[in-house]
Structures are given as C-alpha cells and as structure tokens.
Amino acid sequence: MIKPEPPPRKEYLQQQKETHGRHLFGVFPAQYPREILWALNVLPVEIWDPPLEVSHANAHLQPYICSVVKQGLELILQGKCDDLDGFLFPHTCDSIQNLASIVNDYLGLDKPCYFFYHPKAPYRASSRQYYIEQLKLFVSRLEKQLGPMEPAQLQHRVSQGQKMAALIRELYNLRANRGLRASNAHFYQAIRYTEYLHPDDLIPLLEGFLADSKGESGGGRAVILSGVLPNPPELLTLLDDQGVRVADDDLLSCSRRFLMPPSQAEDPFEALTEGYFGMPPCTTKDSPVSERLDYLLQKIDRTGAKGIIFYVVKFCEPELFDIPQVVEELKKRGVVTLIIDTELHQGLSGQLKTRVEAFVEMIR
Amino acid sequence: MPIAKTLRYQFMKDLGAPALMRFAQTGKKRPRKKPNPHFGPPLKSAERLKEIMTRHYYLSRFAEGAKPIAWVTSGAPVELLRPFGFYTIYPENHGALCGAQKMAPELCAEAEEHGFHQDLCSYARTDLGHYFSRKTPAGKLPKPDLLFASNNICQTVVYWFKALARYLNIPLVLFDTPYNFEEITEIDISYMIRQFEEMIPVLEQASGQTFNYPKFQEIIRLARDSSLAWGEVLSTMKARPAPMTIFDAFIHLAPIVSLRGLPLTLDYYHLLLDELKERVAHGVGALKNEQKRLMWDNIAIWYKVRDYSNLFAEHDMNFVVATYTNAWAETTPYMDENRPLESMVKAYSLVILNNNLNHRLRLMERLIKEYHVDGLVIHSARSCKPYSVGQYDLKRLLMERLEVPSVVIEADITDSRAYSEEQTNTRLEAFFESME
C-alpha cells in the first residue's frame, strides 16, 4: 500500500507557529491566492469538513444550510480556532458570503477577517483587470497586519505554487493513464494535504508520494468523481473494495483548484492571474454549463471512465443547479451517472452502499 | 424586427389591449366577498395597478418578434436595457404571481421531475417548471432573446439563468457586483463601470439598435424619481394609523421592480401617493383599530399573503414596514442622470442583499425607530440564503439593543410544501401572547 505519511495536523500547526513563527489563518472554501499568504509567512489552514458534532452553530444557521458552512462555524464556536491569527473567506457562494459577515460582524471575535472576491464568469477584459487589482489590494490589506511583503518572497512562493500544481498535474495524469498504484483513499489523502501543509513540506511529500506510487494500477474500471470534496471518505474505500479506480475528478476541493496550465508570466501577479483564469470550469465561478460538460467529456475520453459519481454536499446550490443538464447530456452519450446528495461525515448508509454497488455493476 | 409583428404590437399596445381589457372587465361578474370588519376601506389605486400589470403580461405575447425581449433578475440594472427597447419580463415577479395563485408547487414539481432538486430556490424551480410545461397564470410568457442577471441579490439567480441560457440557447449578460464585506472600494466601482461599458456593444448587437445616451439619461431620471416616489409611498406608513399594510405594499411593489424606468411607473406611484396622503390626512387606516405595529423581514410568503393579512388584522396588528419593500427605495435614489454609470454602480451594488450584516442591523434599527415598530416577524425563507443566513443573530441583537420581540417563521417564498401550518401557528400564538 502506498500511503503518504503526514505529520498529524494539530501538532504540525503548532510546530509551524513555534518553529517558523508562521501566522495561521483559517481559510474557508474554495479559491484564494495561497501564494500571497505564504509570502507573508502565513500558513493557510483550510476549513472544509472538521469532524465535529454540530450543536452551537444551529443557533446561528438554519437547518437548510450546508454542512461545510455549519461545521466551519461550529469549529469557531467550539473555540477550536483560538490559536489562529485570522480568517479568510473567499466568495464561494451565498452561504459562505453570509457566514463571513456573521463571523466578522456578529461574533465579536478578536481576530482579523479578510474577504476575497473573485470575478464571476462569463469573463471579460474587466474580469482580468479586476482580479489583478484585487490581488494587490489583498496584499496591501494583509500588510497592515503582517508588515511589508518582500517581492522576492512572492516570486519564490509563486514558483512553489507552480511546482505544487505541476506535481498535482502529474499525479492526475498518471492516475488517468493507469500509471499510479495508490488506492483511491490514499490518492485523496495525499491531495488533501494541500489544505494545510506549507509548500516547503508539501512539495517533498508530493514528490515522495509520486515516486513511491508510480507504476501500473490494477485493471479495475474507471470512474470520475464530481462535486465538492471527497467526504464521506467511506465512498473511496468502498470503490477500492469494489476494484473501481477514481481515474479523475471534478471536485471543488481537488482538481478544480489545481489543474491549470503552467503560467509563462514573469510578474508574480500576472502569473497568479493566469492561474486563476486557467483553472478548470467551476460552478462557484459561474462557469457556463456547456463548458463544464465539455470538460467532463474530455475527462471521460482521457480516462476511458464509464461513469461519473456526483458527490454533492446537501443544500449545495451551485452544484445542484448544474447537475440536471450535465446528467441529461452524459446519459445521451451512454455515460452512467450516480448522484449522491449527503451531509459530511455521515458515512455510507446501507441504502447508499447498495446504490453505489448497483452503479459499479452497471459500469462493469 | 418584422414590420407586421411590430405593427401588431403597436396596435395592441395603443388600442387592442386596452379595449380587450375593458371588454373583459365589463363581462366579469365578481362574487362579492364579505369584507373583513378589521380592515379600513380598500385602496382605490389597486384597480389601476391591476390594469398595469395585466396589460404588461398580456402585451408581452405580442412583443415576441416585434421587440427584443429580455428576462431580467429583480436586482439587475434594467435602465441599461431600456434605451434599446427591450421588453422585459421578471421571472421572480412571475414566480411571486405563481406563488400567490398557488400554482408554484405544481411548477416546482415539473422542475423536480427534470432533476432540479427540491432544496433549490423555488422561484427558480417555478420558472424552470414553466419552461418545461409552459404553464403560467399569466397566459403566456414571450421567449427571451437575452437573459440579464445581476448577482447583487444572490448567486442563485446566476445559477438559474445559466440553466435557462443553455436550454434556450441565448446569451446571458451578467452584472457582477462584488460583495460589500466592509466597504465598497474604488477598484470595485471601476470594475462595475467597465462592465457596463462592455455590455453596451453586446446589447447593441442583441437589439439591433445603437445606444442612445440622452434616452438613457431620461430613463435614469425616471427610475430615480419612481424610486423616490416609492420611498414616499412607504413613508406614509409612518403615520398612525398607517394608511396601508405591508401586504398591500408587497403587491404595489410590482411596477418598481419590473417596470422601473418607464413613465407609467412614476405616474402610478404619484397616483398611489396622493391616495395615501389623503388617507393620512383623514386618519383613514388600513386597519380600523391599529394597536400594534410590526416589521416584516425577507421576501413575502406569497401563498400566505391573504391569510396573514387577515390573521394579523384580527389581532389589530399592522405591518408598517419591511426590509424587502424598502429595498427598492433604499439605494435607487442614488441614480443621477449626469453620472449615469457611476451612480448606477452605487445604486445596484449597495442593495441590502449585497451588503454586510452590520449594514442590515443598522438599517433595521433605523426602520424600527422611524416606523415605531413594536414587534418583528422574520421569514426564514428556504429559497433565499443571502436574506436568511444571519437572521437568527439579527433577532438576538435587535432584542438586546431595542427590546423588540420577534418570531421566526420557517417557510418558503412560493413552495407551500415547505410550510408547516401547525409549527407556524404555535410560534405565532406565542408571539401574539408576547405582544400583549
């Protein structure tokens, strides 16, 4: 079994603070210029799915709000973010937008909260100009708290970001072409280290994982995962047990943020801008349905996958709106689809397990 | 546009539609309803409102082929479309109509059959249900040539319009408004102005007409004056007793939402304002015995407007203000024909739902004081996350700061299947008791 060996998250974060003097920022989903944070000696610690029982957050959020938002707020309310030095809320959806305002305006936390708005598609010349201006404004806001940013540091961290993206691209390419032996569970475990590891540690870890897991994968059928994030992780294990390989994904927390072409720009802000606009189509950026569909079809062609699992967090509007048209078109082309609409950390119920098994039978 | 269709549209607009509507009115025998003894005399202007809205929807079917047609979101800067002669339809307004006519659950079910999840916004599901079934209480809606959306009210409208754009194979023009997390920046303003500049050639191409700047300025003036008049209409409810209820305002809101920038909207609000001023001068209230004054937060529960109107009136409680109706009076008066693009940016990006929750808290505090509000009813709407997320904290903070009692109703704007009569009644009974 090829399993990436990570440092435990809590100890790692503490060590980052004590040994490297790094500021820790809690970052909510999904897209943000992590390189700018790295350049200011900030370690972004992403908050996607902390494994918590939700109790306090229910006093602030309605029952129809998704569990990514609820569990993120619960983490703050339970005091588990007390060691953090700030928060960053990218503008991902209506619920995260308002969560940002609840935290900033109503909770009375003694921590700075930052907000990052990225322009929405369809993109025009103004979108690109706005994005680059937003990056610079973000730097100047952070500098007020953290002191000036060294241009050389930004250049270095942008290079590291590109190196990280290149490694992830290679991992995905190998996976798509049966060139990676890692199980589904271990593959996503490795990808998810991007959520909190510093690039100085992340890059060697990804390199090690790549070196260890290169090699022909088993002969199982290929599927593609689409949705928000690979949670509940029991699905990955079940697919492993069924001999099914997740050959690629269209997950917001994974490939949608990393699989962009390399930038040739010398200016770091230009490079970050190229990176953002070069990312795959995404529901949270309002990408047209047809672009997403074309993108998924390319993945199917590339991997020979016979089916797609839409792995959606309950109440996630951006994902749920695209699904009917995407699924209709995929079905027309003979692609088998399965829609799983579930809360985080709910595991796989017997019924869900049966549905996955039936789906696997259909792609055999 | 084909000449025959243009002539037919013009004929129907000037002669046919008014004549047909007069004919329909004379032929109708309405059963007399027993008046609710708790209400004062009904608003006379309501008849004129009905004429305007009926004619708008009726005429829309003749607009197809005669005028470029746009479907527009309620927060989009429609003033930019008007100089190009677009006939505009507001799917949210249509959704409200379907909700009030209790047709929305059927249309939502149509959308659900096509894969749209029941957790999605019910305005969107109603509209998509209409797309699949063509069913509508308005008779028929014209097929759009263009979709025009702004995410200043929610991201949901963009997801929804994206789906429509693909089904209908037509362009979607988006006005992207950065969320006002703390305060709007020069960078945000420049971005939004540039977007307007980029849209003009797109609209010229879609409509086949060149941009007429003086006409645009006149439209901006009309829109601003209509919003100011709407604001004055709402302000009359500061009087005791208030001359109308917020349930009336939910209905009289239609022209400022969907016919903004047209002369008839301004004329209509002058008519309504005159009537309300007269009622205030003569002490005529919407309720005969207004004892308590309430505030409403969020979009209406369209299938419950009449029931709630009666229920609260029976408790001598009148809703005199709502954050929802106020939204079309709050920022549109910023519009200035001498700086049209820049002023439109402020008018549209600073709306309540694109603004942080501190802004909402301050706004509600001000309205509660200005309108002498005794209690607050908060509609937690499943369909509208930007309006609803944060309401629990708002309830707590308003109680702490102003000691205003409040109740949260968990419901939906048009899909009555998400409404629990029993749970709501229990909550409302407790609220009524707390108000005694």
> Do the beta carbons of residue B277 and residue B74 sit within 8 Å?
no
Q: What is the pLDDT of residues A337-358, one digit of tens each?
A: 999 999 998 888 999 999 999 9
What does the DSSP assignment read for B7-50?
HHHHHIIIIIHHHHHHHHHHH--PPPPPPPTTB-PPPTHHHHHH
Examine the pLDDT at A4 and tell me if it is beyond 80: no
8 Å CB contact of B115 and A323 = yes
CA distances for A78 relative to A36, A72, A97, B378, angstroms: 29, 10, 21, 27
Q: Is the pLDDT of residue B30 over 80?
A: no
Q: What is the pLDDT of residues A256-315, one digit of tens each?
A: 999 999 999 999 999 999 999 999 999 999 999 999 999 999 999 999 999 999 999 999
Which of A60, A62, A89 best tests the B interface by mutation, with the highest count of B CBs <10 A? A62
Q: How many residues does chain B have?
A: 436
Task: Count CB neighbours of A220 within 10 A.
Answer: 18
Nearest residue on chain B to A290, alpha-carbon basis: B166
Interface of B with A in 195-234 (CB under 8 A): 195, 198
Contact check, Cβ <8 Å, A324/B166: no
Residue B25 has pLDDT above 80, yes or no: no
Chain A residues 178-237 with a CB less than 8 Å from chain B: none
**Nearest by CB to B119, which of A121, A127, A320?**
A320
Q: How many other CB atoms are there within 10 angstroms of residue A35's CB atom?
A: 26
Q: pLDDT grade, residue A215 (50/70/90)? A: very high
β-pair partners for B180: B355
What is the crossing angle of helices A151-176 and A289-303, to 10°?
Answer: 60
Partner-chain contact A62 B392, CB within 8 Å: yes
Question: What would the mean pLDDT of A57-66 be, rounded to a whole number?
Answer: 97
The pLDDT value given to residue B421: 94
Q: Does B115 touch chain A (CB under 8 A)?
A: yes
Q: Distance from A166 to chain B by nearest Cα, in Å?
A: 31
ipTM for the whole complex: 0.96
Q: Does the pLDDT of residue A5 top 80, yes or no? A: no
pLDDT at A8: 87
Interchain pair B155, A94: CB under 8 A: yes
pLDDT in tens, A300-309: 999 999 999 9
B163, B140 Cβ separation under 8 angstroms: no
Residue of B nearest to A57 (CA): B392
How high is the mean pLDDT of chain A? 95
pLDDT tens column, B160-172? 999 999 999 999 9
Q: Report, as an integer, the average pLDDT of B305-316.
A: 96
Question: A61: which chain B residues are within 8 Å (Cβ-Cβ)?
Answer: 389, 392
Asked if A314 lies within 8 A of B172 by C-beta distance, the reply is: no
Rounded CA-CA distance A98/A109 in Å is 16
Q: Which pLDDT value is given to residue B28?
A: 61
Identify the pLDDT of residue B31.
61
